[in-house]
Structure 1
Amino acid sequence: MTFDTVLVANRGEIACRIIRTLRERGIRSVAVYSDADRDARHVSLADTAVRLGGAAPADSYLNIAAVLAAAARTRAQAIHPGYGFLSENQVFAQACADAGIVFIGPSVHALNTMGDKIRSKNHVAGYGVPIIPGVAQPGLSNEQLIAAAVDVGYPMLIKPSAGGGGKGMHVVERAEDLPSTLETARRVAQSAFGDDTLLLERLVATPRHIEVQVLADNHGAVIHLGERECSLQRRHQKVIEEAPSPLLDEAIRARIGEAACAAARSVGYSGAGTVEFLVSAAAPNEFFFMEMNTRLQVEHPVTELVTGLDLVDWQLRIAAGEPLTATQSDICLTGHAIEARVYAENPERGFLPTTGTVLQLHEARGEGVRVDSSLTPGLSIASHYDPMLAKVIAWAPTRLEALNRLDRALADTVVLGVHTNTEYLRLLLADADVRAGRLDTGLIERKLPDLTFRTADGHVLAAAALFLHGRASAVSDLTGANFVWTRPSGWRVGSPRPVRYSLGVSATDAVEVRVVGAPGAASVSIGDGPAVEAGLTLIEGRPGRFRIDYDGETRVFAIEQSGARLWIGADGFSVDLRHRSRAEQLAEHLAGRDRVPGEESPDVRSPMPGTVIAVHAATGDTVQVGQTILVVEAMKMEHKLVAATFGQVTVNLKTGDLVTLDQIVATISTPETIADKEDAE
């Protein structure tokens, strides 16, 4: 069998990556898209594209009927599901078979057995694959799980049986926390996967997450392509992955690889798959089966770079009936590869997801650097889907060289218009334990409190004010009016009057910058500080790049403006500042003039854009400090908005309403405020 048309039932960077291999193979590619993705990169890369439906996944990428209709309309012989969405959905795989379309993935039997964590653990145990002690039985109630937890012991891990990608997992340290955590875990599992079945596992001390890539054809051949170290995780979500693992020696690699192949053989697996293991950092010769991902993994590029194999190409060949042409002895791991995931999130705000429009983009390139990305200038990043935007991958002969090459690539990455985690990734790569290969799945959580993120320093604030100053001067030049009266030069009889720019550095804090002179040669005062010589100049031939000379030191920044927001970035760091109008400054002054210094704000703001999924308080209710008022969801993450002060709440939102970053979602009136209002009436 040969394919001349393949539909890619996914979006984002993985859709772009699959389309690349299809193009190299000379296979016609079909993209599908939601209304939110009409202008997405994967749509423009494909040979043709079909609209599925609305922005919500249920209306588009999870709509099996719409996907199959798109395949029929474009005469696609096969569908590649990528990862996420329908990639491990046995109903979809069966529907493809019923429609006479090849599902590029394993059999329905393999999906059924390995797609459920409880079933898969019990299954592979019968084939000699070691499993973690725990409770893995379907249909158990919360009360039954609580009773069984006594034998599992603490700390333990709650996992959704139908889950994947670390979503919905919860660590429980104490018995008294188990009932409430089970309730949360069930709600998250039902919302994310449509199945609230849970399992309990003993939490392995200082665990390392190591997974093995397997390839299997339809003729009985199964091989592994070595392992990937995925221990750098935050909230069970992988952040940085590498191949091979710095922990394993050749003997352990062979043993864990054979265990992965045994798991694949046990279900008659075909295609590319990944078997995930927990390995004790203190005893690497002991490893335990966690689950099998019956699809391509996000981190597959590191395996491709150390083996020289194109996994998507082999998925296509196997699905078309071709046998594997390599045996286990042919597989050789060369050099070292490391991947970093770039997310639309703000580390300084607890890694909450962010939205925006890509105003300026520069992606790394060069020897040993690969970028799998969905980004394009002007792309709108919405809150409907997973926040991963791109993957930056580096290969080098040694691990240390690969780490350094990846760090340089991240420093060269510029994304303005939406907050990303790039600076955080660079901080992780610079950590002494990471560089030494002393990894475990709890490392990031231990390191986070000591990570220091850059803030808007003098150079950034001066650059921002001078950029705005230059824009104002340019507008003046276009009007053709008398420059003395229209340019923001501060000219007056006597000494020049400073032009003032109020720059919001957070939802509540702002810094005033005073400028005297032209942008290229000015005097700048920040806050209560002294006047300092500064100058901002556009670098010739590099649109959006500026050189800032401030206080005797020169730096280079990428700068873009969108409305009142100004984005500035360099070396993986970026910040957005809000240019506050005089009206905003006055309104803020009036709102805060009666507030006691140090008193908590009565305003409850949303720390991320998203959708209100639950409202727990109504206007007029009395709320306590820490009480949940409503819950906002964005990019598969829930966030509770709580009261910071005691009082009577006013809520003007309902379930389903959209909120923006820093939007005031509720206001709390303290007893003193209420009394003052009543006296006034």
Structure 2
Amino acid sequence: MSSSPEISFHTVLVANRGEIARRVIRTLRALGIRSVAVYSDADASAPHVREADVAVRIGPAPAAESYLDIDAVIAAARSTGAQAIHPGYGFLSESVGLAEACAESGIVFIGPSVKALQIMGDKARARDHVLRHGVPVVPGFDAKGLSDLEIAEEAERVGYPLLVKPSAGGGGKGMEVVADAKGLPGALASARRVAAAAFGDDALILERLIRRPRHIEVQVFGDAHGTVVALGERECTLQRRHQKVIEEAPSAGIPAHTREQLLAAAVLAAESVEYVGAGTVEFLIDADAPDEVFFIEMNTRLQVEHPVTEEVTGLDLVALQLRAADGLPLAIAPRLRGHAVEARVYAESPERGFLPSTGTVLLFEPPIGVRVDAAIESGSAVTGFYDPMIAKVIAFADDRATALARLDEALARTVVLGVETNIAFLRALCQDERVLAGDLDTGLIDTLLPFDAERPSSAQLAAAQEAVAGHSEPVRTSPLWRELPGWRLGAAEVAVAPFVALTDADDEIALTETSPTGSREAIRAAVDGDGAVWVAEGGRTVRLRPLDRKQRMLRRLSARDAGVAATEPEGRAPMPGSVVAVHVADGDPVSAGDALVSIEAMKMEHSVLAPHDGVVHLLVAVGDQVRRDQPVARVTTEES
């Protein structure tokens, strides 16, 4: 039985994975409530599976066949005696189908009512609904049922620039910015394709684009007794491609009257659907005129960034969710204190255009002294099946400047080896003058791109050399004079060859210093299964591919024979993933930069472009799975 004197649940199933599953399980354990984890084949050894009291397999790796399988989730709840299901965020967290299935099975859905899910789960319907209840919205229109010609006419009436986004879903997926009428057809096609794949619904809405928007959201809670409270606002303006990167609470210096408008409008929106549980009402504010607020959408679930609200309120939001779902009154009077900042650590490479990274985590060392909510540990597998976020680092202090400094210092001590991450980029954000001054808008991150990788330091190269030397001992099968470096029969001693390696940019780099500068104590290094060595220093990780003498000679010969070569004819996959679209027909003439195919991995879509003018020959089709660097098309010219 639960040790909580009030909450009646004794068993709760967590219908999610990764860090949010671990987060919910932590609160369930603290309350003495039995936890049930579910997992796919890809997550059989994941930390959340081991940490739960009970774990149930629900299907193969693809989310559609496991975490999105409502029947499998309900069956797992029934078989384990779970009285309630916590959906986390993403996956089925805003699913009307899961809420209805829970009701039919006599299981409590830890979330709002079906009515609230239906209204707020559709952006177009939510927009019209809150507008009727006095909540201000951005000018725009619902494109459902309209032809492309009718959409174009309405777009001219609202005025460019416009934001095209799916009615269903969230997380920025499928959003397209349209500067003028010429770009509208392509944006509509792309948004519909992503929306249909991600949400099973290609309906769209179009809204006026605010040129310097700030994205601010309000955490609300409602109970079954008609109480709705706002737990302050969060600044979520630092985004890339509509995906939040750094969040903070409270927001960075908005006027007091604007904050009052935000909180009041958020409560009004929640009350309009008799909201029960945790929800987030999202708004836009013009950075140059922060006197008005505009409703964007309501997320009917717990948010990724909820820890910053927990830090400034001292509340456990998961525990509050359990209370609300159990029909108990909230009975809270929030008092905000200090400042909290959260950074999302993604398995991606900012230096390569933020392409997702997959692999085995050779080493994970979270920083001590700050809160870390992580999906991984040393030995975890990061696959292409799920979202690339692998951890969150949260810092708290009495004021914003100190919180940002603590976050930066914590990121410098965060070590992830085996997959590429955005940690160095997060540190650059924490140190940016505009971020420090609170002069924020959603386009700020774009001004820092492209993000160039720094060359490995001499200390990193020395650590890499030691890691490679210590990784395995050579097998001594050849004569002595062939074994010992720097020694030849009948000749003077020669110098040992320096450590030489290739970076991910294919640059050759060598260790030339005999006594590298820099502290070696703060450096971590590990060798992966392919022989590449990963080295982390101050939050910056490099992947190096060691070269022996023979490999260096072959590279020199190849470069000499090639001379100044033309662009290679192949368009190659920038990451492992699935081909989701082919934009040309085999044999079509193309120009340099034309999109040939689109590849999706970790909920992100990337286009492979024609390397030069010529005729395209396709090497893949829609649905094919491709490896990183695999040729997907060849563009031939008359000369080639």
Secondary structure class of the residue paired with 1:278 = strand
> Take 2:617 and 2:75, find their aligned partners in 1: how far apart are those partners?
47
- Alpha carbons of 1:665 and 1:137: their partners in 2 closer, same or farther (altered >3 Å)? closer
Question: Per-residue displacement from partner, 1:125-149 (whole Å, max 9, x unpaired)?
Answer: 1111111111135322322111101
**More deviation in 112-121 or 196-205?**
196-205
- The residue aligned with 2:408 is 407
Letter in 2 for 1:388: M
Letter in 1 for 2:580: I
- The residue aligned with 1:438 is 439
TM norm structure 1: 0.88
Question: Per-residue displacement from partner, 1:304-353 (whole Å, max 9, x unpaired)?
Answer: 00001100000001101111112xxx221100000000001100011111
**More deviation in 344-353 or 172-181?**
172-181
Letter in 1 for 2:525: I
> Take 2:112 and 2:28, find their aligned partners in 1: how far apart are those partners?
19
Letter in 2 for 1:336: H
Is the contact between residue 490 and residue 499 of structure 1 (CA under 8 Å) also seen in structure 2?
A: no
Secondary structure class of the residue paired with 1:73 = helix
- The residue aligned with 1:300 is 306
Letter in 1 for 2:567: E
Aligned ranges 1:568-579 → 2 under 5 Å: 568-579=535-546
Question: Per-residue displacement from partner, 1:561-603 (whole Å, max 9, x unpaired)?
Answer: 0132110111110011122466765665666555341521233
- The residue aligned with 2:334 is 331
> Take 1:73 and 1:488, find their aligned partners in 2: how far apart are those partners?
64
Is the contact between residue 491 and residue 497 of structure 1 (CA under 8 Å) also seen in structure 2?
A: no
Is the contact between residue 564 and residue 580 of structure 1 (CA under 8 Å) also seen in structure 2?
A: no
1:645 offset after TM fit, Å?
2.5
- The residue aligned with 2:239 is 233
Aligned ranges 1:18-417 → 2 under 5 Å: 18-136=24-142, 138-326=144-332, 330-366=333-369, 369-417=370-418
- Alpha carbons of 1:651 and 1:205: their partners in 2 closer, same or farther (altered >3 Å)? closer
> Take 2:243 and 2:477, find their aligned partners in 1: how far apart are those partners?
56
Is the contact between residue 255 and residue 290 of structure 2 (CA under 8 Å) also seen in structure 1?
A: no
Letter in 1 for 2:575: M
Secondary structure class of the residue paired with 1:446 = helix
Secondary structure class of the residue paired with 1:576 = strand
Is the contact between residue 577 and residue 625 of structure 2 (CA under 8 Å) also seen in structure 1?
A: yes
Question: Per-residue displacement from partner, 1:7-28 (whole Å, max 9, x unpaired)?
Answer: 0000111111011001101111
- Alpha carbons of 1:159 and 1:606: their partners in 2 closer, same or farther (altered >3 Å)? same
- The residue aligned with 2:532 is 565
Letter in 1 for 2:155: A
1:663 offset after TM fit, Å?
3.1
1:464 lines up with 2:464 in the alignment: yes
1:192 offset after TM fit, Å?
1.1
> Take 2:633 and 2:555, find their aligned partners in 1: how far apart are those partners?
17
Is the contact between residue 105 and residue 319 of structure 1 (CA under 8 Å) also seen in structure 2?
A: yes
Is the contact between residue 467 and residue 533 of structure 2 (CA under 8 Å) also seen in structure 1?
A: no
% identical aligned pairs: 53
- Alpha carbons of 1:646 and 1:607: their partners in 2 closer, same or farther (altered >3 Å)? same
> Take 1:181 and 1:358, find their aligned partners in 2: how far apart are those partners?
37
1:655 offset after TM fit, Å?
3.4
Secondary structure class of the residue paired with 1:252 = helix
Aligned ranges 1:646-657 → 2 under 5 Å: 646-647=613-614, 651-657=618-624
> Take 1:470 and 1:323, find their aligned partners in 2: how far apart are those partners?
60
Is the contact between residue 486 and residue 493 of structure 2 (CA under 8 Å) also seen in structure 1?
A: no
Secondary structure class of the residue paired with 2:127 = helix
In the alignment of these two chains, the number of paired residues is: 631
> Take 2:23 and 2:237, find their aligned partners in 1: how far apart are those partners?
24
- The residue aligned with 1:600 is 567
Secondary structure class of the residue paired with 1:290 = strand
> Take 1:583 and 1:258, find their aligned partners in 2: how far apart are those partners?
70
- Alpha carbons of 1:491 and 1:79: their partners in 2 closer, same or farther (altered >3 Å)? farther
> Take 1:340 and 1:665, find their aligned partners in 2: how far apart are those partners?
35
- The residue aligned with 1:521 is none
- Alpha carbons of 1:239 and 1:652: their partners in 2 closer, same or farther (altered >3 Å)? same
Question: Per-residue displacement from partner, 1:24-54 (whole Å, max 9, x unpaired)?
Answer: 0111111111111111111111111111111
TM norm structure 2: 0.93
1:500 offset after TM fit, Å?
5.5
Is the contact between residue 460 and residue 537 of structure 2 (CA under 8 Å) also seen in structure 1?
A: no
Is the contact between residue 14 and residue 83 of structure 1 (CA under 8 Å) also seen in structure 2?
A: yes
> Take 1:283 and 1:618, find their aligned partners in 2: how far apart are those partners?
48
Aligned ranges 1:616-635 → 2 under 5 Å: 616=583, 623-635=590-602
1:486 pairs with one of 483, 488, 500: 483
1:611 pairs with one of 564, 570, 578: 578
1:6 lines up with 2:17 in the alignment: no
1:482 offset after TM fit, Å?
7.8
Is the contact between residue 410 and residue 422 of structure 1 (CA under 8 Å) also seen in structure 2?
A: yes
1:604 offset after TM fit, Å?
2.7
1:533 offset after TM fit, Å?
1.7
Letter in 2 for 1:463: A
> Take 2:499 and 2:83, find their aligned partners in 1: how far apart are those partners?
60
Is the contact between residue 306 and residue 334 of structure 1 (CA under 8 Å) also seen in structure 2?
A: yes
Is the contact between residue 525 and residue 533 of structure 2 (CA under 8 Å) also seen in structure 1?
A: yes
1:470 offset after TM fit, Å?
4.7
CA RMSD in angstroms comes to: 2.3
- The residue aligned with 1:544 is none
- The residue aligned with 2:629 is 662
Is the contact between residue 619 and residue 652 of structure 1 (CA under 8 Å) also seen in structure 2?
A: no
> Take 1:57 and 1:289, find their aligned partners in 2: how far apart are those partners?
31
> Take 1:483 and 1:559, find their aligned partners in 2: how far apart are those partners?
31
- Alpha carbons of 1:618 and 1:153: their partners in 2 closer, same or farther (altered >3 Å)? closer
- Alpha carbons of 1:137 and 1:600: their partners in 2 closer, same or farther (altered >3 Å)? closer
Residue segments in structure 2 that go unaligned for 5+ positions in a row? 1-6
> Take 1:672 and 1:69, find their aligned partners in 2: how far apart are those partners?
62
Is the contact between residue 247 and residue 284 of structure 1 (CA under 8 Å) also seen in structure 2?
A: no
Letter in 2 for 1:486: E
Is the contact between residue 308 and residue 340 of structure 2 (CA under 8 Å) also seen in structure 1?
A: yes
Letter in 1 for 2:409: R
Is the contact between residue 490 and residue 498 of structure 1 (CA under 8 Å) also seen in structure 2?
A: no
- Alpha carbons of 1:499 and 1:334: their partners in 2 closer, same or farther (altered >3 Å)? same
Secondary structure class of the residue paired with 2:136 = coil
Letter in 2 for 1:403: L
**More deviation in 578-587 or 258-267?**
578-587
Letter in 1 for 2:152: I
1:621 offset after TM fit, Å?
6.3
Question: Per-residue displacement from partner, 1:625-647 (whole Å, max 9, x unpaired)?
Answer: 23333322100111111221344
**More deviation in 291-300 or 640-649?**
640-649
Is the contact between residue 471 and residue 527 of structure 2 (CA under 8 Å) also seen in structure 1?
A: no
- The residue aligned with 1:495 is 493
Question: Per-residue displacement from partner, 1:62-91 (whole Å, max 9, x unpaired)?
Answer: 001111111111110100000101110111
1:455 offset after TM fit, Å?
2.5
Letter in 2 for 1:475: P
Is the contact between residue 507 and residue 662 of structure 1 (CA under 8 Å) also seen in structure 2?
A: no
Question: Per-residue displacement from partner, 1:156-209 (whole Å, max 9, x unpaired)?
Answer: 111111121121111111121111111111111111111111111111231111
Question: Per-residue displacement from partner, 1:355-383 (whole Å, max 9, x unpaired)?
Answer: 011001100121xx101111111111010
1:475 offset after TM fit, Å?
3.3
Secondary structure class of the residue paired with 1:286 = strand
- The residue aligned with 2:3 is none
**More deviation in 69-78 or 166-175?**
166-175
- Alpha carbons of 1:659 and 1:580: their partners in 2 closer, same or farther (altered >3 Å)? farther
1:505 pairs with one of 496, 503, 506: 503
1:288 offset after TM fit, Å?
0.7
1:437 offset after TM fit, Å?
0.8
